[in-house]
Amino acid sequence: MSQGDYGLHDHVEMKKKHPCGNNEWEIIRMGADIRIKCIGCGQLVLLPRRQFNKKMKRIIQKND
């Protein structure tokens, strides 16, 4: 599965861990910017798509 295959509500792992110790995020909005939510603490982060592509490590779980 390539990195470009991510979609809404997929769970992804980022290269850098969140300070809360969690490293699983849910994609909750997709557009020019991508909004992800930390599964551990619920914090929302908005990243430009290019930056997201660079920081995302892998898709953990596809939303089917």
Binding residues for Zn ion, rule: CB under 5 A, are 18, 20, 22, 38, 40-41
Q: What is the nearest approach in angstroms of Zn ion to the Cβ of residue 37?
A: 9
- With beta carbons less than 8 A apart as the criterion, state whether 62 and 18 touch: no
CA distances to 2, 9, 39, 41, 50 from 20, in Å = 27, 21, 10, 7, 24
Which CB, 8 or 20, lies closer to Zn ion?
20
* Shortest separation between residue 16's beta carbon and Zn ion, angstroms: 12
> How many CA atoms, within 13 angstroms, populate the side-chain half-sphere of residue 22?
13
User: Which lies closer to Zn ion via its Cβ, residue 5 or residue 38?
Assistant: 38
CB of 36 to Zn ion, least distance (A): 10
